[in-house]
């Protein structure tokens, strides 16, 4: 029966291809919508879990959260680095991590910070940055530009990648992060003193070139020492992990009431963002449901037309003694094969689309893993498969009942 079904499908391939395409388009849209919305939600939850406070210049809470958590959007401004020491000496925090951003490498943001920001994130190769002009590169940045430990990269001013280049002071790649499927994959990390030194030299540089790269590195290191002792450094924000709820309340009272600062709980702010994501996801799901209903209608019409066109064929099979039960199985088998092939093509199409949009999404701080398949996606595919054979099952059953009544 299977061999006969395959031969029968070859004869009717044009109509079956139309049916398969209808299923593929519908299922791929549903899979893509579910996968993207789930990855975005998971990324927001996982990113917001580590810190319970972010302190930055006064301005937009959402902009501050997106800038520090996802390295997207522009910084609100600067605050003095002395705030980091103030927080560390307060006895109210376990961690106070400086955060600075304003430069880029081929549009990948350069994040000035300290090694604590990367605690818990494994290195694929190399070692952590230790001094100014060292850099640890995110997995995606390293993959895209073929970077490895020991390579030098030239950064530029601004986040677009086309600003003034810091050509005299390239960064040396000391390590490559392992893949995290977060915004960390798309960024470059360096000591915050690198940012100070590069901008200090960028303002004062008269174009004089150094004879050796080592001399440039030492000069920047000396500049870092000057900034440390003089306390002249500026940063964009401080990521804080307090010692507990009481400490958090005290910190919020101190800095939340200061007009010069903006103190936020990233969980609270990002959950508001998630509410918007969830609303968008519900809208997408409703649209997908409408498309599924429309697809069911289209597949049903195609199935009816196919069965109508096959009346003479069925009559001939009945004439040579083939029972209606076998005819039913024949059409169900060929539709099941068509549906199964459409399922696999839908999954492939959805994840190829993820590959196509991941670079665009990365620019907004959203990291999409094109290889990630959720269990719910298989359930969606099974539902679509059931819809693909349901019209044929109903049609053939009705024909069998009519045939038995006629007999």
Give CA–CA dist 55/58, Å, rounded: 9
Q: How many whole angstroms separate alpha carbon 174 and alpha carbon 161?
A: 21
Q: DSSP letters of 361-377?
A: HHTTT----TT---HHH
Tokens representing 251 are 């910190």
11-47 per-position pLDDT tens digit: 567 767 777 787 788 788 888 888 887 787 777 766 6
Structure tokens at 250: 């005290």
279 and 254 fall within a common domain: no
- Give the domain-ending residue among 233, 264, 295: 264
SS3 (DSSP) at 141: helix
pLDDT computed for residue 222 by the predictor: 45
Q: How many domains does the chain have?
A: 2
Q: Report CA 204 to chain centroid distance, whole Å.
A: 39
List 165's β-bridge partners, or say none. 156
State the pLDDT confidence band at 404, using cuts at 50, 70 and 90: low
* 257 and 284 share one domain: no
What is the per-residue pLDDT across 275-331, written as a single tens digit (0 to 9) for each?
766 666 677 677 767 776 776 677 667 666 666 666 666 667 666 766 666 767 777
Domain assignment of residue 326, given as a range: 2-43+273-406
Instruction: Specify if 48 maps to a domain.
Output: no
pTM, entire model: 0.66
Structure letter (DSSP) for residue 117 = G
Q: What average pLDDT score do residues 104-131 get?
A: 91
Q: CA quadruple 3, 5, 6, 7: dihedral positive or negative? A: positive
**Same-domain check for residues 6 and 70:** no
Phi, psi of 166 (to 5 degrees): -90, 65
């Amino acid at each position: 029966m299977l061999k006969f079904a395959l031969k029968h499908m070859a004869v009717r391939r044009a109509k079956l291809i139309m049916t398969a395409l209808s299923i593929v388009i519908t299922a791929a849209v549903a899979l893509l919508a579910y996968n993207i919305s789930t990855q975005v939600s998971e990324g927001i939850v996982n990113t917001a879990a580590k810190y319970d406070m972010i302190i930055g210049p006064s301005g937009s809470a959402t902009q501050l959260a997106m800038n520090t958590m996802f390295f997207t959007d522009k910084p609100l401004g600067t605050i003095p680095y002395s705030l980091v020491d103030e927080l560390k000496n307060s006895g109210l925090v376990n961690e106070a991590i400086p955060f600075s951003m304003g430069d880029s490498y081929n549009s990948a943001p350069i994040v000035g910070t300290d090694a604590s920001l990367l605690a818990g994130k494994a290195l694929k190769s190399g070692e952590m940055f230790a001094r100014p002009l060292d850099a640890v590169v995110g997995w995606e940045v390293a993959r895209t530009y073929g970077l490895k430990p020991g390579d030098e990269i030239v950064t530029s001013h601004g986040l677009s990648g086309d600003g003034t280049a810091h050509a005299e002071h390239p960064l040396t790649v000391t390590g490559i992060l392992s893949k995290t499927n977060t915004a960390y994959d798309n960024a470059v990390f360096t000591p915050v003193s690198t940012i100070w030194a590069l901008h200090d030299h960028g303002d004062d540089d008269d174009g004089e070139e150094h004879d050796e790269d080592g001399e440039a590195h030492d000069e920047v290191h000396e500049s870092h020492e000057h900034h440390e002792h003089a306390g002249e450094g500026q940063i964009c924000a401080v990521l804080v992990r307090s010692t507990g709820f009481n400490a958090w309340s005290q910190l919020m009272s101190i800095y939340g009431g200061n007009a010069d600062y903006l103190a936020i709980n990233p969980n609270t702010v990002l959950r508001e963002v998630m509410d918007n994501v969830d609303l968008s996801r519900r809208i997408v799901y409703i649209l997908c449901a409408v498309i599924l209903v429309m697809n069911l209608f289209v597949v049903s019409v195609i199935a009816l037309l196919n069965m109508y066109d096959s009346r003479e064929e069925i009559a001939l099979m009945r004439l040579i003694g083939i029972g209606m039960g076998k005819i039913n199985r024949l059409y169900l088998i060929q539709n099941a094969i068509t549906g199964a092939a459409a399922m696999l093509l839908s999954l492939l199409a959805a994840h190829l689309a993820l590959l196509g949009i991941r670079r665009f999404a990365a620019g907004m701080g959203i990291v999409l893993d094109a290889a990630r398949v959720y269990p719910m996606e298989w359930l969606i595919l099974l539902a679509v498969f059931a819809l693909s054979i349901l019209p044929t099952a109903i049609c053939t059953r009705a024909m069998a009942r009519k045939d038995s009544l006629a007999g």
